[in-house]
Structure 1
């Protein structure tokens, strides 16, 4: 499906593309900063190392101070023609490449675990997570969880006990 179907279908990422593509445009506050709405939709990049935001912009709302160079592709995947990307190496499909500068594989003294068992380190990876933030609203914040390869299972196993191995 990845090589034969479009990355966005009916204005949404198809089920098979959730680990690669995204469909939540960045929003900005009155002060020109990324809005709290966007900061509640932090996701993992395709490598599952970095915390990122979706590289999807509404070109009619981006503050001039951001000086964004949009991809020059003529391909449009959304009914809103103003939705564009700045990363043009993926056929202008929106992917999570707007890094927030946080890498789950790098130990960081400023790291404060948000979820039980969360840990950063060489074997940790970013995983999609969410939590209820009140009034039926969910906030999205990735978790950094330790992982290890299990050759017997042929899978990557997530360690939920807070250990690093």
Structure 2
């Protein structure tokens, strides 16, 4: 189907599929086309932020996260994306602040808790990291990767009995 015939929903779906497939260049092109059509579309801004993060263009990633926040200050995913940029730059206090804000805005935001836990581990705050993982599991107890990360953290802390649960 020629691009001109895709409506904004079709274009967004195409950009997401390309992103999932790792074709960041084409995904970015389609996002930019969609953003020109719909400058207030925060979903496109989030995807652009994620694309640039994957390509290690951290300034651009932060820019699109901040644009999304400006348009919707309640958008937890934008704060989490911004936290990822800060964590990648080893600015852990800024990363933690953004992750904490994200989960305050959206208490069932599992990816936010996972990001928060990883940043807490990097900052050396293991007990708070355990709490973040436990909270994520309260929302979805079937997440193997979170169970595994929590188990490994508890083992590292010498809490083997808890790690076996």
Asked if TM exceeds 0.5, the reply is no
Considering fraction of residues, name the structure with more helix: 2
The TM-score, its normalising length taken from structure 2, stands at 0.27
Considering fraction of residues, name the structure with more strand: 1
The TM-score, its normalising length taken from structure 1, stands at 0.27
Report which structure shows greater RCO (CA 8 Å, sep ≥6): 1
